[in-house]
């Protein structure tokens, strides 16, 4: 560097990092020093020469220039070091800064301006220059008066930093610092001022704090203060300060700290270790990550040999070569290698990627610093990469992605199979751009051509992207395609485009669905906005500063404000109750800090003066990054609940007082329910009532079997009341009847009121005096609500019974009612058990009888058959034997027929075919059948049949069965030589048929059971007479089917018996056949069937024809359908009155049909009556039919009379409204 040698101008260059000063020779001369060798001058030599009065000014100018990166310019005085003469200097310089922004060098020029005129001019220029610099610097420069606490000077940066002008600051009478300083920093202000007061002239006070901008935001600032002026007593008077806005730096520091933390996490997560290799001393420093990779102990010394020993043998040589290359001073001095490490302990193999930078001193490598990362997983990933590529091809096919190659020059397009399939183009078709364009949807042709042209523009990005619809050449279907491509150029000429095309039809449909979802979400948002505006709960949202960003209508109504009044305001600005505000703000802060919801309760007084309790819940609203962005809250008036809680506490106190007595009631309940008889229950109830209430006398009186007489009394009393028990028996029972009729609630009376009460005049002598002062009575009410008794308490102490006694007694009465009911149920259960055992016994006896009666004729049949088979017999023997076999077979057949008839009776399947018949013919037919048996026993037969009462309406075969069973029964039980009388006579409107015998008779005890199934007077194995005991049961059922009755009388055993059958007579009948046929037609075809429109549905044509033959003769209009679909159409077009449908049909069954019909409106047949016709006969099948919509159920096979009657019945019950 060439320095000037002028004696009036000097130059300096100061290295601020090393402190080295380089001065020109003239500078030594100006300052009055001998010339020193280069670099030996010091800053102290300069500072000693500065005039004492100018030192402060010099320091300020230097500090301002250094901080603000502005030129340094100042006129000041020096005192020459050799002569002590004062010399004026004009000094100008500039600070030079390194990459970090720190001042590294200070260079400048010094001029000797001692001449007075020159000094004054230079001084003015210097001040102007200094003022310009001060105004131009980005920092706030101020002079602060410590006595007035106001700034006496600020540059123009005040408004830029804080938004205030100097005039606005001057108008503030109080200390503006205290007004603008952050509350957390205001606590330290006094301490800072005290430190400034104690500053020495050569000291600077530095501090960072927050100040509030005029717009309300907070700014971080860094301040440097030094003493500018002192008072004569040495106290600090004015302070010179520089204030710099470091808000961005603070934010950067925060981000930097977060970045460092994340870097550490990333390092740990990425298994990255750091090493430092001292090449000179062959020592390597490894962090914990690297030691873990090699399996080395934390305190083990590491050399290059240690490193090499851990390498895989195959990787040792290439790794050494990479190290040697990095140590070459002519190379790039970087080390990069990938190698395998053999863990010292577990011998496991891991891949490591290492890199480093080598530092040199001259040409000698002295140090290598770098990182090593465990890349085992990456290597494993690379090993699977080929497989992934293969899978990628599969995914490409699955994702309908094709590849295209467009030769722009020759207009030839190459498509793979995927794209050809999209267009519907054959594999060998030649494709040009026109082929491509011809397949596009007309609406997409122009924008697609435009996209292609843009990609062919050499000044563009040379990329092609378009979405368009393709019309398939064959099936004309429409597909969405997303196409991409890159265009290759030769110079400015596009020659080729290569890219992909993907079928995105599914994605397009998904986008449409997404738009629909978005619309639904918007609708939902509007719904919730509307809902929140109408709910009574208070709903609101706060930001981090505690300002309202939402409030619903309920909260606004509570305040008496509008939404515009509330938004952006704090609770304090809305005149909230201070305690409520503090509680809510604390909750908001808790949620912002913890991210957890919180629930609290608070007392609140609204502006209208209403006071109540509110429960509020404050919960976080999270941003996308997981931080708490806002806080939502809801409040609810819980005043009523608080009142209820208080009432509940009071109630619980009463309940605790009541608990002991309830325990007594529980004990009493156990005692009462342990009783085994009704009387024991009543006695225990009486005793426990006396104990619970502490009464001197308790009396329980009840009715027996709902009768007034007799009445039972149960008493319990203390010793003092024992003598009064005897008076119970003299009470007037009639008045008890009145009492039980009137009292259905507890009654509590004193003796005075009881003696005058009209209901309680129960003593026989009017002069009697009741020996008690207090009386309490509670009714015993059974489950049917009727009063069946009374529990009474007596005491000779006034007011001895309270409300709690009454409540306990009511509960005891309920326990007593349940216990009495349980006793009744127990007795009923015992009776039912006896009946069940009797029924089981009868069943067993019947089964034994059936076995005997069936085996007896079977034995004869089989026996004779074996005899005929065993050897030759003469004709006479064979005829006689066959007759016996036939007789036994007929006997067995009758037994089986009786069993079948009983089965029909039990299942309700016994039917009759009514017609007009003459009873005399029926009786003679039965006599002809039984006569041989009568003659065999030489029985006398007396017949008396009246002519005028012989015509009835009934089933001739079944009535003949009735007469035959009665005659057979009389023949069986009448001994040889006895007599049987048959009589037919008139009894009012009935024909009376009686059969009387002189046989065994019937024991009176068995008379009620004569007509029961399976009953026989003698069911033992020693019985004299055979049979199953079914005949008379069948007789009773058949007679009842004809609308008649049957009775039996007998004077006892050995006195014979008389069976009498009563059948209703048929009136106004003639014997002419035409009239009989007309009557039969009337019975078989009910009037409701005439002109009735019937829809028949069955998949079997034969059954449809049968049903048509059943209903057509009765004048019904019939339509037939073989499927449910056909029937549904017929319902809507033909409008039938009733439906008869099969259930099991192909494809659509009867359940489907009835569901479709019931879905129709009434005017279209939706309420039309319907009958199900099915072979499914299980209980669950019948239940499903009836619950699915059918009114009735008819099982197959069909009986004409039954189904006609069923249809007529359903039409009558359904009414005429449904018969369209």
Q: Are residues 1151 and 1034 in the same domain?
A: no
- The model's confidence at residue 697, banded by pLDDT at 50, 70 and 90, is confident
* Residue 1204: per-residue pLDDT: 87
- The model's confidence at residue 1093, banded by pLDDT at 50, 70 and 90, is very high
Q: Are residues 1029 and 929 in the same domain?
A: yes
Q: Give the count of domains, the chain.
A: 8
Comparing 81-90, 471-480, 819-828, which segment has the lowest mean pLDDT?
Answer: 819-828
* Residue 6: per-residue pLDDT: 40
The domain spanning residue 945 has which CATH number? 3.30.565.10
Residue 1156, in any domain of the structure: yes
Q: Does residue 371 have a pLDDT over 50?
A: yes
Over residues 644-688, the pLDDT tens digits come to 777 788 777 767 766 777 777 788 778 788 877 878 888 888 888
On average, the pLDDT of the chain sits at: 80
* Residue 324: per-residue pLDDT: 94
* Residue 1070: per-residue pLDDT: 37
Q: How far is CA 942 from CA 388, 981, 996, 1150, in A?
A: 113, 4, 10, 60
What is the pLDDT averaged over residues 762-770?
Answer: 47
* Residue 792: per-residue pLDDT: 81
* Residue 822: per-residue pLDDT: 82
Q: Are residues 213 and 336 in the same domain?
A: no
* Residue 12: per-residue pLDDT: 87
Q: Are 1050 and 1056 in contact (CB under 8 A)?
A: yes
The domain spanning residue 746 has which CATH number? 3.30.450.40
- The model's confidence at residue 1169, banded by pLDDT at 50, 70 and 90, is very high
The phi-psi region of residue 568 (left if phi > 0; otherwise alpha if psi is between -120 and 50; otherwise beta) is left
Backbone angles phi, psi at 668, to 5 degrees: -60, -40
Distance CA 1185, CA 1176 (A): 10
* Residue 763: per-residue pLDDT: 44
- The model's confidence at residue 282, banded by pLDDT at 50, 70 and 90, is very high
Residue 844, in any domain of the structure: no
Backbone angles phi, psi at 123, to 5 degrees: -65, -45
What is the pLDDT averaged over residues 603-613?
Answer: 71
Q: Does residue 1114 have a pLDDT over 70?
A: yes
* Residue 244: per-residue pLDDT: 86
Residues with Cβ within 8 Å of residue 1193, at least 6 apart in sequence: 1171, 1172, 1174, 1182, 1185, 1186
Distance CA 1123, CA 1127 (A): 6
Distance CA 720, CA 817 (A): 29
Q: Are 960 and 994 in contact (CB under 8 A)?
A: no
Task: State which of 137, 167, 182 marks the end of a domain.
Answer: 137
* Residue 399: per-residue pLDDT: 61
Q: Are residues 285 and 373 in the same domain?
A: yes
* Residue 1077: per-residue pLDDT: 42
Q: Are 700 and 714 in contact (CB under 8 A)?
A: yes
Distance CA 634, CA 433 (A): 65
Q: Are residues 796 and 934 in the same domain?
A: no
Q: Are residues 687 and 633 in the same domain?
A: no
Print the SS3 string covering 464-479.
EEEEEEEECCCCCCEE
* Residue 1021: per-residue pLDDT: 34
Boundaries of domain holding 727: 649-832
Q: Does residue 198 have a pLDDT over 50?
A: yes
> Could you give the count of Cα atoms lying within 13 Å of 1075 in the half-sphere of its Cβ?
9
What is the pLDDT averaged over residues 375-398?
Answer: 66
Distance CA 425, CA 474 (A): 8
Residue 398, in any domain of the structure: no
What is the pLDDT averaged over residues 73-85?
Answer: 89
Comparing 79-93, 834-848, 875-889, 926-940, which segment has the lowest mean pLDDT?
Answer: 834-848
Could you tell me which of 226, 246, 71, 205 has the C-alpha nearest to residue 142?
A: 226
Q: Does residue 247 have a pLDDT over 90?
A: no
What is the pLDDT averaged over residues 1070-1099?
Answer: 66
Is pLDDT larger for residue 1118 or for residue 273? 1118
Q: Are 1112 and 1118 in contact (CB under 8 A)?
A: yes
Residue 848, in any domain of the structure: no
What is the pLDDT averaged over residues 239-252?
Answer: 83
Q: Are residues 661 and 798 in the same domain?
A: yes
Residue 208, in any domain of the structure: yes
Q: Does residue 829 have a pLDDT over 60?
A: yes
Over residues 895-941, the pLDDT tens digits come to 677 666 666 655 556 677 788 888 888 898 888 878 888 888 888 98
Q: 10 Å Cβ neighbour count for 491?
A: 7
The domain spanning residue 309 has which CATH number? 3.30.450.20
Over residues 995-1017, the pLDDT tens digits come to 999 998 888 888 887 887 655 54
Q: Does residue 703 have a pLDDT over 80?
A: no
Q: Are residues 119 and 149 in the same domain?
A: no
Comparing 217-231, 734-748, 1202-1216, which segment has the lowest mean pLDDT?
Answer: 734-748
Residue 749, in any domain of the structure: yes
Residues with Cβ within 8 Å of residue 553, at least 6 apart in sequence: 533, 534
Q: Does residue 161 have a pLDDT over 90?
A: no
Q: What is the DSSP letter of 975?
A: P
* Residue 710: per-residue pLDDT: 42
Q: What percent of the chain has pLDDT over 70?
A: 80
Which of 388-397, 770-779, 812-821 has maximum average pLDDT? 812-821
* Residue 141: per-residue pLDDT: 85
- The model's confidence at residue 259, banded by pLDDT at 50, 70 and 90, is low
Could you tell me which of 929, 844, 942, 858 has the C-alpha nearest to residue 893?
A: 858
Q: Are residues 254 and 366 in the same domain?
A: no
Q: Are residues 591 and 678 in the same domain?
A: no
Distance CA 27, CA 19 (A): 18
Q: Are residues 283 and 246 in the same domain?
A: no
What is the pLDDT averaged over residues 255-277?
Answer: 69
Strands (E), 733-821: 747-750, 774-781, 787-795
Could you tell me which of 697, 702, 705 has the C-alpha nearest to residue 713?
A: 702
Q: What percent of the chain has pLDDT over 90?
A: 20
Could you tell me which of 1138, 998, 977, 979 has the C-alpha nearest to residue 1058?
A: 998
Comparing 377-386, 441-450, 920-929, which segment has the lowest mean pLDDT?
Answer: 377-386
Query: 841-876: string of b/e by CB count within 10 Å (b at 16+)?
Result: ebeebbeebbeebbeebeebbeebeeeeeeeeeeee
What is the pLDDT averaged over residues 483-506?
Answer: 90
Residue 845, in any domain of the structure: no
Is the pTM of the predicted complex or chain greater than 0.75? no
Q: Does residue 395 have a pLDDT over 60?
A: no
Q: Are residues 289 and 250 in the same domain?
A: no
Task: State which of 137, 170, 201 marks the end of a domain.
Answer: 137
Residue 872, in any domain of the structure: no
Over residues 30-57, the pLDDT tens digits come to 899 988 887 788 888 989 999 999 999 9
Q: Does residue 890 have a pLDDT over 90?
A: no
Q: Does residue 724 have a pLDDT over 70?
A: no
Could you tell me which of 91, 60, 89, 55 has the C-alpha nearest to residue 73?
A: 91
- The model's confidence at residue 296, banded by pLDDT at 50, 70 and 90, is very high
* Residue 560: per-residue pLDDT: 77
* Residue 1020: per-residue pLDDT: 40
Distance CA 340, CA 478 (A): 56
Strands (E), 1007-1116: 1045-1049, 1057-1064, 1093-1097
Task: State which of 119, 137, 155 marks the end of a domain.
Answer: 137
* Residue 1082: per-residue pLDDT: 44
Is pLDDT larger for residue 835 or for residue 1193? 1193
């Amino acid at each position: 560097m060439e320095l000037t040698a002028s004696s009036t101008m000097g130059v300096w260059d100061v290295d601020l990092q090393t402190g080295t000063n380089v001065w020109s020779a003239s500078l030594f001369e100006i300052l009055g020093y001998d010339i020193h060798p280069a670099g030996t001058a010091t800053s102290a030599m300069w500072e000693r020469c500065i005039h004492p009065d100018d030192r402060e000014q010099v320091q300020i100018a230097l500090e301002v220039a250094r901080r603000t990166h502005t030129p340094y310019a100042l006129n000041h005085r020096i005192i020459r070091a050799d002569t002590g003469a004062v010399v004026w200097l004009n000094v100008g310089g500039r600070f030079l800064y390194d990459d970090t922004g720190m001042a590294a060098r200070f260079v400048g020029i010094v001029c000797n301006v001692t001449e007075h005129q020159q000094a004054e001019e230079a001084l003015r220029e210097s001040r102007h220059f200094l003022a310009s610099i001060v105004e131009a610097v980005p920092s706030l420069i101020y002079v602060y008066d410590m006595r007035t606490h106001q700034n006496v000077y600020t540059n123009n940066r005040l408004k830029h930093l804080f938004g205030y002008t100097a005039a606005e600051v001057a108008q503030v009478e109080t200390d503006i610092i205290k007004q603008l300083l952050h509350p957390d920093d205001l606590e330290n202000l006094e301490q800072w001022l005290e430190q400034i007061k104690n500053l020495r002239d050569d000291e600077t006070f530095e501090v960072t704090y927050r100040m509030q901008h005029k717009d309300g935001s907070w700014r971080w600032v860094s301040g440097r203060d030094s003493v500018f002026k002192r008072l004569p007593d040495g106290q600090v008077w004015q302070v010179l300060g520089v204030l710099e806005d470091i808000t961005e730096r603070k934010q950067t520091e925060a981000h930097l700290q977060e970045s460092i933390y994340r870097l550490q996490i990333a390092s740990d997560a990425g298994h990255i270790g750091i090493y430092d290799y001292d090449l000179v001393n062959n020592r390597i420093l490894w962090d914990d990550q690297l030691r873990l990779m090699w399996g080395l102990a934390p305190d083990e010394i590491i050399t290059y040999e240690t490193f090499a020993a851990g390498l895989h043998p195959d990787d040792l040589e290439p790794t050494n070569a990479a190290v040697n290359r990095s140590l070459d001073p002519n190379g790039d001095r970087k080390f990069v290698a990938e190698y395998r490490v053999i863990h010292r302990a577990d011998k496991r193999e891991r891949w490591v990627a290492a890199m480093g930078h080598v530092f040199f001193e001259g040409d000698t490598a002295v140090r290598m610093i770098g990182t090593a990362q465990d890349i085992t997983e990456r290597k494993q990933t690379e090993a699977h990469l080929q497989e992934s590529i293969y899978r990628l091809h599969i995914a490409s096919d699955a994702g309908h992605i094709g590849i295209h190659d467009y030769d722009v020059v020759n207009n030839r397009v190459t498509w793979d199979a995927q794209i050809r399939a999209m267009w519907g183009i054959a594999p060998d078709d030649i494709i040009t751009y026109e082929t491509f364009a011809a397949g596009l949807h007309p609406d997409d042709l122009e924008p697609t051509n435009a996209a292609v042209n843009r990609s062919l523009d050499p000044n563009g990005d040379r990329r092609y992207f378009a979405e368009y619809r393709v019309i398939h050449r064959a099936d004309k279907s429409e597909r969405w395609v997303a196409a991409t491509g890159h265009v290759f150029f030769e110079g400015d000429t596009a020659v080729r485009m290569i890219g992909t095309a993907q079928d995105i039809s599914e994605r397009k449909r998904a986008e449409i669905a997404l738009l629909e979802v978005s619309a639904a979400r918007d609708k939902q948002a509007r719904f919730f906005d509307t809902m929140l505006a109408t709910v009574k709960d208070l709903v609101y949202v706060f930001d981090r500063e505690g300002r309202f960003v939402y409030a619903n209508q309920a909260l606004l109504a509570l305040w008496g404000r509008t939404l515009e009044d509330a938004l952006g305001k704090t609770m304090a600005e809305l005149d909230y109750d201070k305690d409520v505000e503090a509680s809510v703000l604390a909750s908001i802060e808790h949620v912002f800090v913890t991210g957890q919801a919180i629930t609290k309760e608070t007392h609140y007084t609204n502006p209208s003066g209403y006071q109540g309790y509110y429960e509020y819940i404050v919960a976080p609203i999270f941003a996308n990054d997981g931080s708490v962005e806002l806080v939502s809250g809801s409040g609810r008036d819980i005043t009523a609940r608080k009142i209820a809680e208080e009432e509940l506490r009071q109630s619980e106190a009463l309940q605790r007082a009541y608990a002991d007595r309830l325990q007594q009631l529980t004990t009493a309940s156990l005692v009462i329910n342990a009783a085994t008889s009704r009387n024991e229950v009543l006695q225990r109830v009486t005793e426990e009532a006396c104990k619970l209430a502490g009464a001197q006398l308790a009396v329980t009186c009840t009715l027996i079997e709902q009768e007034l007489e007799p009445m039972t009394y149960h008493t319990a009393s203390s010793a003092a009341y024992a003598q009064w028990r005897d008076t119970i028996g003299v009470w007037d029972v009639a008045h008890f009847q009145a009492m039980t009729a009137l009292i259905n609630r507890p009654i509590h009376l004193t003796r005075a009121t009881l003696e005058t009460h009209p209901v309680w005049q129960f003593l026989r002598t009017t002069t009697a005096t009741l020996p008690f002062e207090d009386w309490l009575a509670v009714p015993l009410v059974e489950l049917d609500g009727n009063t069946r008794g009374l529990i009474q308490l007596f005491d000779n102490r006034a007011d001895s019974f309270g409300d709690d006694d009454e409540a306990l007694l009511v509960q005891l009465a309920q326990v007593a009612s349940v216990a009495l009911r349980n006793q009744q149920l127990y007795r009923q259960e015992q009776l039912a058990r006896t009946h069940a055992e009797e029924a089981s016994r009868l069943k067993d006896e019947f089964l034994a009888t059936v076995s005997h009666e069936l085996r007896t004729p079977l034995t004869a049949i089989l026996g004779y058959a074996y005899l005929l088979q065993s050897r030759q017999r003469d004709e006479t023997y064979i005829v006689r034997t066959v007759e016996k076999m036939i007789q036994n077979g007929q006997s067995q057949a009758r037994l089986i027929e009786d069993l079948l008839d009983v089965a029909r009776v039990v299942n309700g399947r016994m039917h009759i075919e009514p017609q007009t018949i003459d009873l005399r013919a029926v009786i003679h037919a039965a006599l002809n059948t039984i006569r041989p048996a009568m003659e065999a026993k030489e029985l006398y037969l007396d017949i008396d049949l009246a002519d005028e009462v012989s015509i009835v309406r009934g089933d001739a075969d079944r009535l003949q069965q009735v007469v035959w069973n009665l005659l057979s029964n009389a023949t069986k039980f009448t001994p040889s030589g006895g007599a049987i009388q048959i009589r037919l006579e008139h009894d009012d409107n009935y024909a009376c048929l009686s059969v009387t015998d002189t046989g065994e008779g019937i024991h009176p005890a068995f008379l009620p059971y004569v007509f029961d199934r399976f009953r026989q007077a003698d069911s033992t194995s020693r019985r004299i007479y055979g049979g199953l005991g079914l005949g008379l049961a069948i007789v009773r059922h058949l007679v009842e089917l004809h609308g008649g009755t049957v009775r039996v009388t007998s004077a006892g055993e050995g006195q014979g018996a008389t069976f009498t059958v009563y059948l209703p007579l048929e009136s106004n009948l003639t014997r002419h056949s035409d009239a009989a046929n007309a009557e039969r037609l009337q019975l078989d075809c009910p009037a409701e069937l005439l002109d009735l429109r019937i829809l028949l549905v069955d998949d079997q044509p034969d059954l449809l024809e049968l049903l048509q033959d059943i209903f057509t003769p009765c004048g019904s209009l019939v339509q037939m359908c073989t499927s449910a679909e056909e029937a549904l159409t017929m319902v809507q077009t033909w409008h039938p009155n009733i439906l008869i449908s099969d259930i099991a049909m192909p494809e659509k069954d009867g359940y489907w049909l009835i569901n479709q019909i019931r879905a129709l409106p009434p005017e279209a047949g939706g309420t039309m009556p319907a009958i199900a016709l099915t072979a499914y006969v299980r209980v669950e099948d019948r239940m499903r039919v009836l619950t699915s919509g059918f009114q009735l159920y008819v099982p197959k096979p069909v009986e004409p009379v039954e189904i006609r009657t069923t249809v007529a019945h359903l039409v009558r019950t359904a009414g005429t409204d449904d018969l369209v």
